[in-house]
Every structure is written in structure tokens, then in C-alpha cells.
Amino acid sequence: MILQRNLIWLIPLSIIITFPLWRPPVAAFLSPTYDHPATTPHKQNLNHDFILDQIRVIASDKKTGRSEITARQAVTVAPGQLELTEVTALLPSSNENPDDLLHISAQSGRYNQDNGLLILRDQAQVINPADGYKLESDLLHYSESQQTLISPVAIRFQGQGVLIKGSSLSYDLATGHYQIGGRVHCTLTQFSLPGTK
């Protein structure tokens, strides 16, 4: 009986002594292979990154009219922001006649869906067929909510009998008022002095 009692104590003693040898394989076997939903926090990763070819964004508003932006390709760069290539846009030029549209084009741009801001870069052009002018710049900002077209860099404005170069431009589409800033160089053609024909 004493021999049996000594043998029973040997089994737990051998388990304790050999613990460093058998612990890693048993721990790997008993560890879960997936994250249980109750133990991991819920991830709010709702970003939808995508690339679209030949896109068209159409916005319509009673106050501002209908605007349409098209691009060869659009890529999401942040939530609600699209990076555009080969951009063209048709925007209402004034509230008086919503059928008069500005034709805008650029090599690249960015459109913010949340605030309606369109930033056009690289050879941006604005053509107004109704008034017969053409505006060229390397950077244009169009705000749907404020109905403004702003260029913080050098511009070239060409109309019927006039060529204006300036270092910035602000155009209010609702009122049709222009403000050209910085050094302004104006060339008038087809100009006659008052009292002469």
C-alpha cells in the first residue's frame, strides 16, 4: 500500500517537472484560431475605395440649376473625395438664364461630395459661349454652394476684343461679376476713341 501511495505522488511530480516541455504544443492546440466577435471590438471600417471609368456626376438644385461633371476616371482618395482625370463640366453661368452653361475642362481635378467643391488642375479652361469668353488657368476652384469660380494662380481671360492677364480671379456666377487680382495686363483690340468711328 505504501508503494502505491508513492506511485500516485510520482505522476503529479513528473507532470510538474516536464511542464516546460509539453506546455507550448498544448497551448497552441488549445488557443482559438479565429477572433470571436464577443472578444474583439467591432471595427467601423466603412471606407469604400474604388476606381470608376467614364463617370458622370449630375447635381440639380432649384436655386443653382443643373450641373454635370464627367471624367475619364475617378479614384477615391478619402471618404467623399474623388480624384478625377480628364475632367469636363457643364455649370450654370447665372441664375437669370439657367440654360446658359459654362463649359469647363481640365486634365485633373478633385471633387468633394460633402461640400460640392470641385478643384481643377493642369490646363483648366472655362468657355462661356453665351458671353463669348475663354478663361485659362492652372488651378480653378468651383463651389456649388457659394456659386463662385476662383483661381488663386495666374489667369488668361480672352473675350471679344479683349485679352486680360492677371495673377488671380474671382467670378461670382450668381451675379456675373469678375474680380481680377494682382498685376493686370489688358490688351484691347477693335477699340476706337470716343467721338471717332
User: What are the tens digits of pLDDT across the range 110-162?
Assistant: 888 888 888 888 888 888 877 788 889 888 898 877 888 888 888 888 888 88
> Coil, strand, or helix at residue 20?
helix
Evaluate whether residue 118 is within a structural domain: yes
pLDDT band at 33 (very low <50, low <70, confident <90, very high): confident
DSSP 8-state class, residue 25: H
Evaluate whether residue 177 is within a structural domain: yes
Closest CA to 92 of 176, 178, 7: 176
Q: Which domain holds residue 103?
A: 55-188
The number of domains in the chain is: 1
**What mean pLDDT do residues 35-52 have?**
59
Evaluate whether residue 26 is within a structural domain: no
Evaluate whether residue 59 is within a structural domain: yes
Q: Which residues pair with 91 in a beta bridge?
A: 102
**Domain at 180, CATH number:** 2.60.450.10
> How many angstroms separate the CA atoms of 68 and 143, rounded?
13
How many helical (H) and strand (E) elements, i.e. helices and strands, does the chain have?
A: 2, 12
